[in-house]
Structure 1
């Protein structure tokens, strides 16, 4: 059968509609594929706050009332001599003073050692020596209590006033213990007459370091 021009145009239109329908279907299919590739988002987080600890010590001249003495000359130590005043020492005299240290609450643990200040060296200071022991209470820091007190290791008896101990004493955290020092100062039995009437301020540092 002979195809007319009208039939040809109708055929072309039919093919065009089929092509558009196929293309439209493909586009719909493409949209569907894109949707299946979408993902849900989810996250987990963790956090905390860090705070630095503290380390602090306080001192006492009676073992009961503690306070800060953060710089020299610090607490005024009361030296008692058996029969003389420390304001009138003579060769061979000895005097004793008590000083106690502990950590505050709260505070981490640490240790403490005693050091003589370099400023302790003078003409009179050169004629004085010191020794340190630990006692159970202030009342035991005396010439009689000295014999039964515990020797502080790392510091020899009769050390120069500028000497520092080479070992330390333990300080428990949160004021858990007290280190009760008894300091003995002695004037040399051979102190020359040139030191008569002279004075010397003597300072010790109780150097504390944090750490168990």
Structure 2
């Protein structure tokens, strides 16, 4: 009788061992680890840059109190040419300024002035449009845009005598990031004395609209690109 009891106990012990083994196989501790792209302060760590160009059309170089805004569709912001612009006589030239810069927090970029098109919803006389010529200069030095300053005003962007319908390939002007510099432009529009049929243009009007195409530049990436070493002879 005693031997039978010992045998039953031994079988039970084996079953217990098998049971423990079974639990160890079917169950496990679960753990996982996560990470996220942060900014060092618990906020999102990935995002896009911003690129925004603003304009100012003051008659004098913009001051701290000047208003800068965005005008992204034709006809855009209104520039007013110097007195006499609506009473041109053959040989007259008139002038108008615009200044552009990047906005606060914007990355750097460049500007490229396009040839004019007719301002949206404003009447233009075909004869006067075809007769007028223009020229544009740019500088980063605050300068009034007038007949008196024209000759010394910056660098030529559009050469003198360019017709409104003439295709242009102007040089780009650079804009630094975060309002760091300003490009000042001066527009000269002329009614040439020798324009064909100029005497028949009396009482006509024109409203050209110019577009600046702005393109962003990743300044940090540009600085990271080192010039290639010259080839060894």
Aligned to 1:127: 131
Aligned to 2:11: 23
Q: Is 2:18 the partner of 1:57?
A: no
Q: CA deviation at 1:132?
A: 1.0
Aligned to 2:161: 158
Larger helix share, 1 or 2: 1
Contact 2:55 2:101 (C-alpha < 8 Å) held by counterparts: yes
Gaps of 5+ in 2: 38-43, 219-233
Secondary structure of 2:86 counterpart: helix
Aligned to 2:230: none
Q: CA deviation at 1:113?
A: 1.8
Contact 1:98 1:138 (C-alpha < 8 Å) held by counterparts: no
Aligned to 2:82: 80
Structure 1 residues 111 and 175, CA gap change in structure 2 (3 angstroms)? same
Contact 2:88 2:191 (C-alpha < 8 Å) held by counterparts: yes
Distance 1:148 1:78 in 2: 21
Aligned to 1:146: 150
Q: CA deviation at 1:22?
A: 3.5
Secondary structure of 2:9 counterpart: helix
Secondary structure of 1:79 counterpart: coil
Q: CA deviation at 1:14?
A: 5.0
Distance 1:160 1:211 in 2: 31
TM-score calculated relative to the size of structure 2: 0.72
Q: CA RMSD in A?
A: 2.6
Aligned to 2:36: 47
Contact 2:143 2:153 (C-alpha < 8 Å) held by counterparts: no
TM-score calculated relative to the size of structure 1: 0.78
Distance 1:60 1:138 in 2: 13
Gaps of 5+ in 1: 1-9
Distance 2:11 2:164 in 1: 103
Contact 1:91 1:187 (C-alpha < 8 Å) held by counterparts: yes
Larger Rg: 1
